Amino acid sequence: EAGVAQSPRYKIIEKRQSVAFWCNPISGHATLYWYQQILGQGPKLLIQFQNNGVVDDSQLPKDRFSAERLKGVDSTLKIQPAKLEDSAVYLCASSLNTGGGGTEAFFGQGTRLTVV
């Protein structure tokens, strides 16, 4: 079974530039997550999709971050303009979501963003 695919693996940009990350979840997984993991911290949920609808984006900095999930499959996360504090690993995950909780999530390898 193919895992969650993310690209690029690494990205270095200057502050105030824009950047986009791409995620392809496991086939058939209804739920897709984007997490931000700052060095030394646990992952923080940015946005959760159920098919192509947003379930939770309460911690997404909407003035600069945006995300979409095309046709309920692939997803892109964009930052515009980037700030130094956006330097982090951006993790994408997906799960079957049986609706009752307790469904494990499968994670991609992440995109390491460095803003200079």
**Binding residues for other proteins, per CB under 8 A?**
3-4, 31, 33, 35, 41-45, 48, 55-56, 91, 93, 95, 97, 99-110
Give the shortest CB-87-to-other proteins separation in angstroms: 16
Amino acid at 68: E
- Asked if residue 9 lies in contact with residue 111, where contact means CB atoms within 8 angstroms, the answer is yes
Which residue's CB is nearer to other proteins, number 75 or number 95? 95
- Interatomic CA distance for residues 35 and 20, integer angstroms: 14
Comparison of 27 and 100: residue with beta carbon closer to other proteins? 100
Query: How far is residue 22's CA from residue 93's CA, in Å, rounded to a whole number?
Result: 12
What's the 3-state SS for 32-45? EEEEEECCCCCCEE
CB of 10 to other proteins, least distance (A): 10
- R_g (Cα) of the chain, nearest Å: 14
Q: How far is the CB of 68 from other proteins (least distance, A)?
A: 20
**79 or 111: CB nearest other proteins:** 111
